[in-house]
A and B are shown apart, each in its own frame.
Chain A
Amino acid sequence: MLSDTEAVELLSFLKADVRPDVKGQAVEYILGLSSHRDGCQFLRSNPNFLVALVDLTSDPTADIVKNCYHALINLSADETLHQLLVTKANVLPVLFKNLLDPEYPFSDRICTILTNLSRHEKTCTTVFKVLQEDVGLAQLVEIFCTEGYNKKASLHYLGPLLSNLTQLPEARNYILDKDRCVIQRLLPYTQYQASTVRRGGVIGTLRNCCFDYVHHEWLLSDAVDILPFLLLPLAGPEELTDEENEGLPVDLQYLPEDKKREEDPDIRKMLLETLLLLTATKAGRQTLKQKNVYPVMREFHRWEKEPHVVLACEKLVQVLIGDEPEKGMENLMEVNIPEDVQEKLIGADAKEQQELEKEQEERRQKEGKNQVPEGMER
Chain B
Amino acid sequence: MASSALQDDSDDGMDEFIDKFRTHKYKNAFNESNWEEEFEKVPMFMKTAPEEIDPKTHPELACLQSMIHDDDRTPEEQAMSLKNEGNEYFKEKNYKNAILSYTAGLKKNCGDQELNTVLLTNRAAAHFYLGNMRSALNDATAAKKIRPDHLKALVRGAQCCLELRNFAEAIQWCDAGLKAHPTDKKLQELRAAADKQKRAAERDARKAKAQKKKTRTEKEALLAAIKERGIKLMQHNKVRQHSSDSEDEDGGSARGLAELSLDGLSSQEATGAQVFLDPQGSLHWPVLFLYPEHQQSDFISAFCENSCFIDHLAVMFGEELPPWDTDRKYLPQNLQLFFEDEEKDTLYQVDPETSLLKVLQHNRCFVKAGSPSFIVLVNGSSFRTQFLTGKKVQRLS
A255 to B206, Cβ gap below 8 A? yes
Contact of A253 among B179, B195, B206 (CB under 8 A): B206
Asked, given contacts A179-B183, A251-B203, whether A222 binds B196 with beta carbons under 8 Å apart, the answer is yes
B202 to A181, Cβ gap below 8 A? no
B192 to A223, Cβ gap below 8 A? yes
In the complex, A88 has a CB within 8 A of chain B: no
**Chain A minimum-CB-distance residue to B207:** A254
Least CB distance from A102 to B in Å reads 15
A253 to B203, Cβ gap below 8 A? yes
Provide the bound-state CA to CA distance between A225 and B194, in Å: 13
Least CB distance from A283 to B in Å reads 20
A254 to B206, Cβ gap below 8 A? yes
**Chain B minimum-CB-distance residue to A249:** B199
Provide the bound-state CA to CA distance between A185 and B196, in Å: 13
B199 to A228, Cβ gap below 8 A? yes
In the complex, B188 has a CB within 8 A of chain A: yes
Provide the bound-state CA to CA distance between A222 and B188, in Å: 12
Contact with A along B188-209 (1 / 0, CB 8 A): 1001100110011011001101
B interface size (C-beta, 8 A): 20
B199 to A251, Cβ gap below 8 A? yes
Provide the bound-state CA to CA distance between A180 and B182, in Å: 6
- Report whether over half of chain A's contact residues are helix, strand or loop; otherwise say mixed: loop
Contact with B along A211-232 (1 / 0, CB 8 A): 0000000000011010010000
Chain A residues within an 8 Å CB radius of B200:
250
In the complex, B140 has a CB within 8 A of chain A: no
Asked, given contacts A142-B179, A180-B182, whether A254 binds B192 with beta carbons under 8 Å apart, the answer is no
Least CB distance from A369 to B in Å reads 41
A184 to B206, Cβ gap below 8 A? no
Chain A residues within an 8 Å CB radius of B210:
254, 256
- Report whether over half of chain B's contact residues are helix, strand or loop; otherwise say mixed: helix
Chain A residues within an 8 Å CB radius of B206:
253-256
Provide the bound-state CA to CA distance between A305 and B396, in Å: 63
Least CB distance from B209 to A in Å reads 7
Provide the bound-state CA to CA distance between A92 and B110, in Å: 48
In the complex, A8 has a CB within 8 A of chain B: no
Asked, given contacts A138-B182, A181-B191, whether A254 binds B196 with beta carbons under 8 Å apart, the answer is no
Interface size, A (range): 10 to 19
Least CB distance from A346 to B in Å reads 34
Provide the bound-state CA to CA distance between A228 and B199, in Å: 10
In the complex, B175 has a CB within 8 A of chain A: yes
Provide the bound-state CA to CA distance between A256 and B188, in Å: 31
Provide the bound-state CA to CA distance between A181 and B200, in Å: 21
Provide the bound-state CA to CA distance between A179 and B210, in Å: 39
Least CB distance from B211 to A in Å reads 9
Provide the bound-state CA to CA distance between A75 and B181, in Å: 40
From B178, B191, B200, B202, residue with most partner A Cβ within 10 Å: B178
Least CB distance from B212 to A in Å reads 12
Asked, given contacts A180-B183, A181-B182, A256-B206, whether A250 binds B192 with beta carbons under 8 Å apart, the answer is no
Provide the bound-state CA to CA distance between A135 and B188, in Å: 23
Interface residues of B in 340-365 (CB under 8 A from A): none
Least CB distance from B354 to A in Å reads 42
Provide the bound-state CA to CA distance between A181 and B176, in Å: 12
Chain A residues within an 8 Å CB radius of B178:
180-181
A254 to B183, Cβ gap below 8 A? no
Least CB distance from B121 to A in Å reads 22
Least CB distance from A85 to B in Å reads 32
Contact of B203 among A179, A180, A250 (CB under 8 A): A250
Provide the bound-state CA to CA distance between A225 and B196, in Å: 9
Least CB distance from A319 to B in Å reads 26
Least CB distance from A240 to B in Å reads 13
B207 to A181, Cβ gap below 8 A? no
Contact of B175 among A179, A185, A228 (CB under 8 A): A185
Provide the bound-state CA to CA distance between A223 and B189, in Å: 8
A184 to B203, Cβ gap below 8 A? no
Chain A residues within an 8 Å CB radius of B199:
228, 250-251
A254 to B195, Cβ gap below 8 A? no
Provide the bound-state CA to CA distance between A142 and B175, in Å: 9
Contact with B along A307-322 (1 / 0, CB 8 A): 0000000000000000
B196 to A253, Cβ gap below 8 A? no
Least CB distance from B63 to A in Å reads 53
Chain B residues within an 8 Å CB radius of A225:
195-196
Chain B residues within an 8 Å CB radius of A179:
183
**Chain A minimum-CB-distance residue to B187:** A181
Least CB distance from B203 to A in Å reads 5
Provide the bound-state CA to CA distance between A222 and B207, in Å: 22
Provide the bound-state CA to CA distance between A180 and B179, in Å: 10
Interface residues of A in 54-74 (CB under 8 A from B): none
Asked, given contacts A181-B191, A222-B192, whether A254 binds B182 with beta carbons under 8 Å apart, the answer is no
Provide the bound-state CA to CA distance between A138 and B178, in Å: 11
Contact with A along B144-178 (1 / 0, CB 8 A): 00000000000000000000000000000011001
Provide the bound-state CA to CA distance between A179 and B209, in Å: 38
Provide the bound-state CA to CA distance between A343 and B180, in Å: 46
Chain A residues within an 8 Å CB radius of B179:
142
Provide the bound-state CA to CA distance between A256 and B207, in Å: 9
Asked, given contacts A181-B188, A185-B175, A256-B209, whether A251 binds B183 with beta carbons under 8 Å apart, the answer is no
Provide the bound-state CA to CA distance between A282 and B321, in Å: 73
A253 to B182, Cβ gap below 8 A? no
Least CB distance from A256 to B in Å reads 7
Provide the bound-state CA to CA distance between A205 and B131, in Å: 42
Chain B residues within an 8 Å CB radius of A138:
182
Provide the bound-state CA to CA distance between A250 and B178, in Å: 26
Provide the bound-state CA to CA distance between A185 and B171, in Å: 10
Chain A residues within an 8 Å CB radius of B188:
180-181, 223
**Chain B minimum-CB-distance residue to A187:** B195
Interface residues of A in 227-250 (CB under 8 A from B): 228, 250
Chain B residues within an 8 Å CB radius of A253:
203, 206-207
Provide the bound-state CA to CA distance between A179 and B191, in Å: 13
**Chain A minimum-CB-distance residue to B177:** A181
Least CB distance from A247 to B in Å reads 13
Contact of A184 among B183, B191, B202, B209 (CB under 8 A): B191
From A222, A223, A250, residue with most partner B Cβ within 10 Å: A250
Least CB distance from A152 to B in Å reads 23
B195 to A184, Cβ gap below 8 A? yes
Least CB distance from A166 to B in Å reads 19
Interface residues of A in 160-202 (CB under 8 A from B): 179-181, 184-185
Question: Known pairs A253-B207, A256-B209. 4 more at Cβ < 8 A?
Answer: A181-B175, A181-B187, A251-B203, A254-B210
Q: Can you list the 10 inter-chain pairs with the closest CB atoms, starting with the nearest?
A: A254-B206, A250-B203, A254-B207, A179-B183, A180-B182, A253-B203, A254-B210, A181-B178, A181-B188, A251-B199
Q: CB within 8 Å of A: which residues of B? A: 174-175, 178-179, 182-183, 187-188, 191-192, 195-196, 199-200, 202-203, 206-207, 209-210
A-B CB contact pairs (8 Å), 6 listed = A180-B178, A180-B183, A223-B192, A250-B203, A254-B210, A256-B210
